[in-house]
Amino acid sequence: MSITLNVQGMSCGHCESAVKGALGELEGVNGVDVDLGSGKVEVQYEEGKVTEAQMKEAIEEQGYDVA
């Protein structure tokens, strides 16, 4: 499964690392691709192991908004 989240406020490679790291720590997340320019974050995950709400929370805890 994969989902694409629209994340606002990521401005540099450090931001990308912060978001990738936070998502990567969630059980059930297998991969994360970030496009800084568009703010699109594509998450590969195992259905039933992690929810979209958990992903959003992980991103928001890093200080970014999810549209």
CB distance 64 to 3 below 8 Å: no
Is the CB of 11 or the CB of 30 nearer to a second copy? 11
Is the CB of 45 or the CB of 64 nearer to a second copy? 64
Bridge partners (DSSP) of residue 44 are 2, 31
The least distance separating a second copy from the CB of residue 36, rounded to whole angstroms, comes to 10
Is the CB of 15 or the CB of 41 nearer to a second copy? 15
For the CA atoms of 57, 13, 3, 43, what is the dihedral angle to 10 degrees? Answer: -90
The least distance separating a second copy from the CB of residue 8, rounded to whole angstroms, comes to 12
The least distance separating a second copy from the CB of residue 5, rounded to whole angstroms, comes to 19
Rounded CA-CA distance 41/25 in Å is 15
